[in-house]
Structures are given as structure tokens and as C-alpha cells.
Structure 1
């Protein structure tokens, strides 16, 4: 009973941590104070849950949680979350806070998978399966965000074509203006990129925990890494180089075509993915 409750606690922390990283990413790119506050409070809940677990562990065992690698990982994750909360209040360095939390999320996920080996076979298998579902769900949700972004980019290119050819028709009235279409495509990519990143982190950890290796040359793995790089480059040119409009829309459209290839074609050649 206690093991099951602790397993649920770790799963809940992973979900809350993932949501916190997503909002920190939005704050990092857009300097969105509302998103930053939401990320801070979500991370605060994670810290409270982690602290409660540490207090329970020390009360139950009478030892400080650094006696082995599994315990050390959890304490390390707690330290990272604590530092992140302190940095948020003192320094407000969005870049540092975001990547600190990516590392912290990875450590929490590693700990969750690692501790399954110390539990019963039934609970261990159930926990690994549920975390695999989280990995797949996050990947699909990121694909959904990229799909909507693709639609807005296609509408942008269509609207751009009509305006360039001076084809004044009812379509111009039914489609949003170019700047809004460009912004909506950008916003959905901001949501999709961190979700895909966290999904990849969970997938890598899961493969080592359940398969004891990761096939880095697997077509689906390589395709997912390329996809993350493409959408990362889209955000780079959109924010750093300030290249908006047609160039960004074309890159976004090309990235989505790679997404389709990765999902349908490369997935069929994968050695261990669920749709292979």
C-alpha cells in the first residue's frame, strides 16, 4: 500500500514538474510574468511533495537519504528544485532557471525509474508502464501543438500568396491577418518544443530502465532528435534573428513534414516503439 502511494506521488511530481518546465520555457522566451508565476507555484508544490517524502523517509529509516545512489538521486533533485525556487526569487535569470529545471526533471525521472528495481515485480512493471504512457502522451500532445502550428503557417502562406497576387476575395476576410497567424504558429511551437524535449528525456530513461540500452541508431530515435533540432532552430531564427513571416512559415511547414515522416515512416522501422 505504501509503495503504491509513493509510486503515485512520484508520478504526480513528474506531471507537475513537466507543467512547471513548460511554463518556465514560455516565460524564458516571452518574458511572460504570468507564466513565470504559474511555473513557480507548480514547482513549489513539487518541492512540498519532495520535502514530505524526504521527511517520511528520514522518520521511517532514521537515516539521511544519501546512503546509496537511488537515495542520493532524490536528494540531488530536491536540492535542484530548492535552488531553482531561490534563484527565481533572488536572481530572476530565466535562462538559468529553465535549464536547471530541465536537469531537475531528468533527475526526478531517473530516480522514479531506478527505484522500481527495489520494488515488487508487479509494482515495478506497472510503474514503468505508466511512465511509458506519460512519455507517449507527452509526445503526442507535442505533435498536436506542432500540427496546429503547421495549420497556422499554411494559412499564413495562403494569405501571403493572395495578398502578393492582389487577389482580393472573400478568403481575405475569413482568414486572420498575417501577423496574428505568424504569432499563433510561434506560440504553439513554444508549447510543443519543451513537451517533446521532456518526452524524449522520459523515453531515454525508460529505455535504459526497461531495455537496459538505448538504440541510438534506431530510426525513430534519430528522427525525434532531428525533429527537436528543427523546431529548436525555428525558435532560434524567430527569436534571435527575428526572422518572422514567410521564412519562418516555410521552415515550420518543412519541420511538420519531417514530423509526419518520423511518425509514420520511421516509426514503422523502429525496433521498440509501440507503433512499430
Structure 2
């Protein structure tokens, strides 16, 4: 039997996946990514429409809406507006930002509702929020690790070609152009995953009611990580930076990731669980 908890979780994961495709389209015009993002977002909107329709039917005699219902209707309208804008206009940044806000409000609404039961027995709803937050963060770290490996390959191959030192190892590597493209693809996956993880982290902090947690070293350094990769993407699209410098910057950004994962956890007020 599909419970409401599973339905909300499905909406959140599909919503997050649609944002990944929208970010890919925003970062580098990609019609396939836009179609996938729109399709997934449309599916979320259909699920929400069914919920809203059923909810409206239950309010035929009582028009007193709860806060949960009002915020749910708000996110439903945001998604609907973004789909209309997508149909008639080409404003990729607007589409990504409005749906990022919608995602944050939807997550805050679901996980802040005491009447929403967790999908896994023995958990509370905050455990579920943290689980999604952690899976997104781990996914971003994995993508950044892949990007760093490709950057090392790029620098190795670039040096060997410059020195004209040819070998069997070099012959088995992709071209510099392909390595650079693979690096970009890994970052284009990791950056929005980290952004979504941070968004859910902020939602969790909001629900905890302790704004001081926003200044935790782990949280602050995570924003530095996001800024570093955002700078990499800007440099990539400017096409004014040589591939070697891009690879070096990507490795520098990964160093910040390592610092964030190791050092920040040692001094963080609420991330020590990683070492347990």
C-alpha cells in the first residue's frame, strides 16, 4: 500500500531530479535535459494536482485550510507557473530559481508537518529529512571526486603531450577535449546536488529553530565549496580560461571539498556523526 509518506518522498526525489536537469539546461543549453526536467516536474505537478483536487473536495463544506494545505497549494501554483513560463518563454534562470524555492518550501512543509508519518518504522520525520540531505551530499561528493580524477588525468596528459613523451598509457587515455568535457559533466551533476543538500540542510536548521547552526564551520565551508564550483562553471563558460587552468581550479575546489569533509567535521557542532 502506498502511504502518504512514500508519496511525499517520491515527490521530493522526483522534484530534486527535475532540478538537476533544469540546472544542466541553465548551465549549458541542453534541450534533452530541459525535456527531462520538464517531464519530471510535470509528473510532480500531476501528483500534486491529484492531492489538491482530493483536498478541495474535502473542503466543500469547510473552507478553513491548514498551514500545510496552504503551503502545499503554494508549491503547486509555483510549479504550474514555471511550466507555463517554460511553454511560452525561454527564461532558464527563472525556471531553476522558482523551482528551487518551490522545492525548499515543499520540503519545509512536509518535514515540518507533525501529521506526516515517516516511511520507515522507527524513524521520525527529521530522520527522513536528514537521510535525503545526506544522500544528496554524498552524491555531490562522489561527483566532485570523479571530476577531480579527470582533472588529474587532464594535467598528466597535457604535460606528457607538451614534453612529447608518448607512451602506451597516453594512448589509452581519452583526448584532452573529452577529459575536459567529462570533468564538466561531473561538476554539472555535483554542484546542483550540493545545492539541494544545502537547501534541505537549511530546512532542517529552520525546523530545529536554531539559526546559529547556519554559522557552523561545516555549513559555512559547504557554501565555499559551492562557490568554488560555481566559479569553475563560470570560467568554463567564459571560454577565456585554458583547459590546464580549469583543471587546476577544479582540483583546488576539490581540496576545499576534502577540507569540508575532514577538518570541518572535527570542529562542527552537529556533524560528528560521520565518524561514528
* Superposition TM-score, scaled by structure 2 size: 0.91
2:4–2:116 contact (8 Å) kept in structure 1? no
Separation in structure 2 between the aligned mates of residue 156 and residue 138 of structure 1, nearest angstrom:
27
Separation in structure 1 between the aligned mates of residue 60 and residue 101 of structure 2, nearest angstrom:
29
Between 1:66-75 and 1:172-181, the stretch displaced more is 66-75
- The number of aligned residues is 273
Deviation of residue 114 (structure 1)? 1.9
- Which consecutive segments of 4 or more residues in structure 1 shift more than 6 A? 63-66, 120-124
* Secondary structure of the corresponding residue to residue 275 of structure 1: helix
Separation in structure 2 between the aligned mates of residue 197 and residue 46 of structure 1, nearest angstrom:
20
Q: Which position in structure 2 is the counterpart of 1:275?
A: 274
Separation in structure 1 between the aligned mates of residue 33 and residue 15 of structure 2, nearest angstrom:
14
For 1:99-248, list aligned pairs within 5 A. Answer: 99-116=97-114, 118=115, 126-210=124-208, 212-248=210-246
Q: Give the superposed CA RMSD.
A: 2.3
Separation in structure 1 between the aligned mates of residue 81 and residue 209 of structure 2, nearest angstrom:
33
Separation in structure 1 between the aligned mates of residue 274 and residue 264 of structure 2, nearest angstrom:
10
Separation in structure 2 between the aligned mates of residue 242 and residue 73 of structure 1, nearest angstrom:
44
Cα gap change, 1:109 to 1:65, in 2 (>3 Å) = farther
* Secondary structure of the corresponding residue to residue 215 of structure 1: helix
Separation in structure 2 between the aligned mates of residue 214 and residue 124 of structure 1, nearest angstrom:
29
Gaps spanning 5+ residues in structure 1: where?
none
* Secondary structure of the corresponding residue to residue 261 of structure 2: helix
Gaps spanning 5+ residues in structure 2: where?
none
2:5–2:117 contact (8 Å) kept in structure 1? no
Separation in structure 2 between the aligned mates of residue 173 and residue 115 of structure 1, nearest angstrom:
57
Deviation of residue 217 (structure 1)? 2.0
Separation in structure 2 between the aligned mates of residue 83 and residue 137 of structure 1, nearest angstrom:
29
Between 1:33-42 and 1:166-175, the stretch displaced more is 166-175
Q: Which position in structure 1 is the counterpart of 2:14?
A: 16
2:110–2:116 contact (8 Å) kept in structure 1? no
Separation in structure 2 between the aligned mates of residue 103 and residue 63 of structure 1, nearest angstrom:
32
1:24–1:39 contact (8 Å) kept in structure 2? yes
Separation in structure 2 between the aligned mates of residue 250 and residue 50 of structure 1, nearest angstrom:
44
Cα gap change, 1:36 to 1:166, in 2 (>3 Å) = same
Cα gap change, 1:70 to 1:185, in 2 (>3 Å) = same
2:5–2:116 contact (8 Å) kept in structure 1? no
Deviation of residue 255 (structure 1)? 0.6
1:149–1:189 contact (8 Å) kept in structure 2? yes
